[in-house]
Amino acid sequence: MCETKVYIEKDGKKEEIFENVIDIQSEKDGFFLKDLFGEQKFIKAKIKYIDFMKHEMVLTESEGDK
Protein backbone atom coordinates (compact mmCIF):
# COMPACT_ATOMS: atom_id res chain seq x y z
CA MET A 1 0.00 0.00 0.00
CA CYS A 2 1.08 3.60 -0.50
CA GLU A 3 -0.31 5.47 2.48
CA THR A 4 1.43 8.62 3.61
CA LYS A 5 2.21 10.12 7.00
CA VAL A 6 1.63 13.86 7.31
CA TYR A 7 3.78 16.00 9.58
CA ILE A 8 3.74 19.66 10.55
CA GLU A 9 7.09 21.34 11.09
CA LYS A 10 7.32 23.77 14.00
CA ASP A 11 10.54 25.28 15.31
CA GLY A 12 12.59 22.93 13.12
CA LYS A 13 10.93 19.76 14.49
CA LYS A 14 8.49 17.43 12.69
CA GLU A 15 5.33 16.43 14.53
CA GLU A 16 3.16 13.65 13.06
CA ILE A 17 -0.43 14.86 12.69
CA PHE A 18 -2.05 12.13 10.57
CA GLU A 19 -1.11 8.69 9.26
CA ASN A 20 -2.41 6.25 6.64
CA VAL A 21 -3.40 9.20 4.42
CA ILE A 22 -4.76 8.08 1.05
CA ASP A 23 -6.35 11.31 -0.26
CA ILE A 24 -5.20 14.93 -0.16
CA GLN A 25 -7.40 17.75 -1.46
CA SER A 26 -6.07 21.31 -1.72
CA GLU A 27 -8.23 24.19 -0.52
CA LYS A 28 -7.56 27.95 -0.43
CA ASP A 29 -5.63 27.99 2.82
CA GLY A 30 -4.89 24.34 3.55
CA PHE A 31 -5.63 20.69 2.82
CA PHE A 32 -8.34 18.13 3.46
CA LEU A 33 -6.70 14.82 4.40
CA LYS A 34 -8.48 11.47 4.40
CA ASP A 35 -7.07 8.27 5.85
CA LEU A 36 -7.52 4.62 4.94
CA PHE A 37 -10.44 4.31 7.37
CA GLY A 38 -12.38 7.34 6.07
CA GLU A 39 -11.47 9.77 8.85
CA GLN A 40 -10.97 13.32 7.56
CA LYS A 41 -9.10 16.37 8.85
CA PHE A 42 -8.59 19.89 7.56
CA ILE A 43 -5.12 21.31 8.12
CA LYS A 44 -4.50 25.02 7.59
CA ALA A 45 -0.93 24.92 6.26
CA LYS A 46 1.28 24.94 3.20
CA ILE A 47 3.52 22.22 1.79
CA LYS A 48 7.19 22.30 2.72
CA TYR A 49 8.03 19.07 0.89
CA ILE A 50 6.76 15.62 -0.08
CA ASP A 51 9.08 12.60 -0.01
CA PHE A 52 7.47 9.81 -2.03
CA MET A 53 10.17 7.27 -1.13
CA LYS A 54 9.55 7.77 2.60
CA HIS A 55 5.77 8.18 2.16
CA GLU A 56 5.75 11.48 4.03
CA MET A 57 4.36 14.96 3.49
CA VAL A 58 5.73 17.81 5.60
CA LEU A 59 3.66 20.94 6.08
CA THR A 60 4.39 24.30 7.67
CA GLU A 61 1.95 26.69 9.26
CA SER A 62 0.46 29.28 6.93
CA GLU A 63 1.89 32.78 7.39
CA GLY A 64 -1.34 34.02 8.97
CA ASP A 65 -1.23 31.25 11.60
CA LYS A 66 2.08 32.28 13.20
Residue 54's domain comprises 4-65
> What is the per-residue pLDDT across 5-59, written as a single tens digit (0 to 9) for each?
999 999 999 999 999 999 999 998 999 999 999 999 999 999 999 999 999 999 9
Quote the pTM value.
0.86
Between the alpha carbon of residue 18 and those of residues 6, 11, 48, the distances in Å are 5, 19, 16
Other CB atoms closer than 10 Å to residue 21's CB: what's the count?
22
Look at the chain and report how many structural domains it folds into: 1
